[in-house]
Amino acid sequence: MRKSAPPREEPAERLQKVLAQLGLASRREAETWIRAGRLTVNGDKATLGVRVRSADQVRLDGRVVRRHIAPELRVFLCHRSPGQALGRPDDETGEDGIMSRLPGRGGRRFVAVSPMPRIDGGLELVTSDGELAMRLQRAAHLLTSEFSVRVRGELTDLQRQGILTGLLDRGTSLAVQSCEAAGGEGANRWYSLVAHGGSGKDVRQLFERQAALVSRVLRTRFGPLSLDRALARGQFRELTREQRDALVAAIAGSRSSSP
């Protein structure tokens, strides 16, 4: 009679990774909590590098961290208006941020990926999975994004050539693929800029380095995701499974193609 194979032991994972997967904190925040003595494992104060299994009892500030099976990964695409709060309510107006209106929080924390500066807006990507948020943040500089930039007056050929160099104040360069006129009315003109990586702050800096008066920067595409016209400002929609898969594939592809 053949003997049955012994059950495989559940692998232990670092505490900060577990908390990130639960959407409670980023890994860096969890490490801060550990250093501050806010976390315990089976009654003992947690230390950096400690690993836990599902049977271990983890407490944060004395409260048990429920390690139930995580709900299906949720990722939202938000259309944020310039000046609109993304996370916490606005200090002056008390207006709720978009993330406070997202459904199905269930105690989980939503994390914004490479958010645009408050003065600007457009496409914002938000997820309830801290691990995915960290992976996206690391890959953000490798994904291709598109921005709409409003400036006063038309750019000269010399200004456009300067923007195409991608040179930033810190001495590094943004990989700009194109900078094309996109219409406008009165004294304002819009330009569509496509770049490999880069943040809203970088894009604004590119134009201002060329003495352009920038009044607005809107992100319209992030990797495989685009801001469609049907999504009004201040609104959001959840990504489909296919869109989530395409996003994860884009992360993997950007890493494999990076030097």
- The CATH architecture annotation of domain 75-140+233-257 reads 2-Layer Sandwich (3.30)
Q: What is the pLDDT of residues 213-222, one digit of tens each?
A: 999 999 999 9
User: Are the beta carbons of 75 and 238 closer than 8 angstroms?
Assistant: yes
Helix residue ranges, H only, 56-95: none
Q: Is the pLDDT of residue 105 over 70?
A: no
- At the top level of CATH, the class of 144-222 is alpha beta
Among the ranges given (68-72, 125-129, 189-193), the one the predictor scored with the smallest mean pLDDT: 68-72
Give per-residue pLDDT as tens, 136-194: 888 887 889 999 999 999 999 999 999 999 999 988 889 999 999 999 888 999 999 99
What does the pLDDT average to over 118-143? 86
- Residue 74: Cβ within 10 Å count: 20
The 8 Å CB, 24+ separation contacts for 33-40 are: 33/60, 39/15
Residues of the chain with CATH 3.30.70.580: 75-140+233-257
pTM, 2 dp:
0.70
CATH superfamily of 13-64: RNA-binding S4 domain (3.10.290.10)
Q: Within the chain, which residue ranges are assigned CATH 3.10.290.10?
A: 13-64
How confident is residue 106, by pLDDT bands cut at 50, 70 and 90?
very low
Which is nearest to 126 in space by CA: 85, 93, 94? 85
Cβ neighbours around 214 below 10 Å, total? 19
Structure tokens at 5: 């194979």
